[in-house]
Amino acid sequence: MTALHLAAGQGNSWIARQIIDHCPECCELVDDRGWNVLHFAMVSFSIRQLKRLLNKYPVVRNLIFEKDEKGNTPFHVLAAVCPHPGNDGYDIVPWKIAKGYYQAVNKQNISVEHINRYGFPELEKEIEKLSKADGSGNYPDGVVKINKNKKRVIYSFWKDLDEEVTGMENASEYHLVVAALIATVTFAAAFTLPGGYKSDTEDGPNRGTAILSKNAAFQAFVISDTIAMVLSLSAVFVHFILSLKFFKKFIFLFIFALLFTLVAMAAMIIAFVTGTYAVLAPSLGLAIVTCIIGLTFFFLVIFMFYMVISKAMKGEIEFED
């Protein structure tokens, strides 16, 4: 077995993708059973992980009809791993990648369709054996980790794309609310400036202007508040564009809107911190405490991303498209 086989067998798709990125030629290698990387992936990967692997790497997608020593294709393995509904219904393969996959047969003349309907005890026992310790101590947790949570749904690539767009539309609605809220708050803050305005009864050209206009913290407040408002309104505009049918499949626009909203949140926090500092400067202790509490937002975000990345590096979680 190669390192790629081990990574795929243990369900660590991130490591598997890293290996393929650096050495795509190793996808062609097989173990003593004739299993390639896709045989192992069909056992341990989730449907979403399989979809990502096959969509991203044509070299892996070309392995879908490659047979092992007993003539089993990766689809035979997938059918054996998935639960069997019997004659009431059967849909095991995540996409219609190529015609004829369902009728592909092994050396015993058993097709994927047959396994899906009635099961294949011989192959199922072989896979189950691979999931247990081999006795030599080399694989105390087994060669493969069986993923038993696969959904029995068949997709075409177009349907997958439609579902991605639908999911993006649902997320876009929530993001639009957040962006609109940020725009509303920052717009209102621009006209209720910290420290107030110079009295209208005063004479001179500065009448009605901000009292703290010369204060550095106040200036930082105005700039960060403006940035937050502009970016949040930009996110609102992008979400509005995404509601139009022509732009629905431009997923990169959704990513732009997400980034705009995240930066707007950060700018709004800075505006809050600098604004409160400007008006609380005479009470320096209170001003500093308020700023520290406000800036904990960034520490919490950094900590969250650190935990996510560390768990992903350990293979405990998986980033999905």
DSSP states of 229-287 as a string?
A: HHHHHHHHHHHHHHTSGGGTT-HHHHHHHHHHHHHHHHHHHHHHHHHHHHHHTTSHHHH
Q: What is the mean pLDDT of residues 17-27?
A: 91
Closest by CA position to 90, among listed 119, 65, 48, 126:
119
Instruction: Inform me whether the pLDDT recorded for 48 exceeds 70.
Output: yes
Q: Are 169 and 104 in contact (CB under 8 A)?
A: no
Question: Residue 298's CB: how many other CB atoms inside 10 A?
Answer: 12
- Top-ranked range on mean pLDDT: pick from 39-43, 101-105, 111-115: 39-43
Task: For 193-223, give one letter per residue: b (16+ CB within 10 A) or e.
Answer: bbbebeeeeeeeeeeeebbbeebebbebbbe
What's the chain's average pLDDT? Answer: 79
Q: Are 288 and 206 in contact (CB under 8 A)?
A: no
Q: Return the pLDDT at 296.
A: 92
What is the rounded CA–CA span in Å between residue 245 and residue 243? 6
Name the 3-class secondary structure at 317.
coil
Question: Residue 164's CB: how many other CB atoms inside 10 A?
Answer: 14
Q: What is the mean pLDDT of residues 58-87?
A: 80
Q: What is the mean pLDDT of residues 252-259?
A: 84
> pLDDT-derived band of residue 245, with 50, 70 and 90 as boundaries?
low
111: which strand partners?
A: 105
Instruction: Inform me whether the pLDDT recorded for 88 exceeds 80.
Output: no
Instruction: Inform me whether the pLDDT recorded for 36 exceeds 90.
Output: yes
Cβ neighbours of residue 4 under 8 Å, at least 6 residues apart? Answer: 16, 19, 20, 23, 26, 27, 29, 37
Q: Tell which phi-psi region holds residue 119, choosing left (phi > 0), alpha (psi between -120 and 50) or beta.
A: left
Q: What is the mean pLDDT of residues 164-176?
A: 66
> pLDDT-derived band of residue 293, with 50, 70 and 90 as boundaries?
very high
Domains, the chain, ranges and CATH?
3-155 (1.25.40.20), 158-313 (no CATH)
Instruction: Inform me whether the pLDDT recorded for 141 exceeds 90.
Output: no
Percent share of the chain, pLDDT over 70: 77
Percent share of the chain, pLDDT over 90: 22
Tokens encoding 203: 């004479």
Q: Return the pLDDT at 208.
A: 67
Question: Residue 251's CB: how many other CB atoms inside 10 A?
Answer: 15
Q: Are 312 and 305 in contact (CB under 8 A)?
A: no
202-217 pLDDT tens trace: 556 667 677 787 888 8
Closest by CA position to 61, among listed 80, 36, 91, 32:
36
Closest by CA position to 280, among listed 234, 186, 212:
212
Instruction: Inform me whether the pLDDT recorded for 219 exceeds 80.
Output: yes
Q: Return the pLDDT at 253.
A: 80
- 104 or 304: whose pLDDT is higher? 304
Q: Return the pLDDT at 315.
A: 55
Q: What is the mean pLDDT of residues 307-311?
A: 80
Q: Return the pLDDT at 35.
A: 93
* Lowest-confidence pick of 34-43, 55-64, 78-87, 236-245: 78-87
Given CA atoms 117, 118, 122, 127 in this order, what sign does their dihedral have?
positive
- Give the distance between the most distant pair of CA atoms in the chain: 99
> pLDDT-derived band of residue 317, with 50, 70 and 90 as boundaries?
low
**Predicted structure pTM score:** 0.49
